[in-house]
Amino acid sequence: MAGAKLSGAEFSGTDMRGANLAGADLSGSNFIDTDFTGANLADANFTAATFRSVRGIDRANTQGARGLPARTR
C-alpha cells in the first residue's frame, strides 16, 4: 500500500503489523485499536489524523512521517 491515497479512512481494530505505508496519504484518517508494529510509515502523511488505543508506532519506521502523535516520534 506504499503511496496509497487513504485520506479520511476509518481504521478500527486494524492489523497494520508489517504493512508498507511508505509515502501514503492518511491525512484526516481515524485509527482506533490499530497495531502498527513493524510497519513502514516512512514519509507518510498523518496530518489531522486521530489516534486512540493504537500500539506499535514506536516499533515502526516513522522516518519523515508527518502528523504522528508527539510521543511516538
Q: Cβ neighbours of residue 71 under 8 Å, at least 6 residues apart?
A: none
Q: Cβ neighbours of residue 26 under 8 Å, at least 6 residues apart?
A: 6, 7, 9, 44, 45, 46, 49
Q: What is the pLDDT of residue 73?
A: 44
How remote is the C-alpha of 23 from its chain's centroid? 11
Q: What is the mean pLDDT of each run of 10 residues along the chain (73 residues)?
A: 90 97 98 98 98 96 93 52
Q: What is the pLDDT of residue 2?
A: 79
Give the position of cell 479520511: 8
Q: What is the pLDDT of residue 71?
A: 61
**Nearest in space to 42 (alpha carbons), one of 26, 54, 55, 30:** 26
What's the pTM? Answer: 0.89
What does the DSSP 8-state code read for residue 20? B
What are the structural domains of the chain?
Answer: 1-65 (2.160.20.80)
Q: What is the pLDDT of residue 70?
A: 74
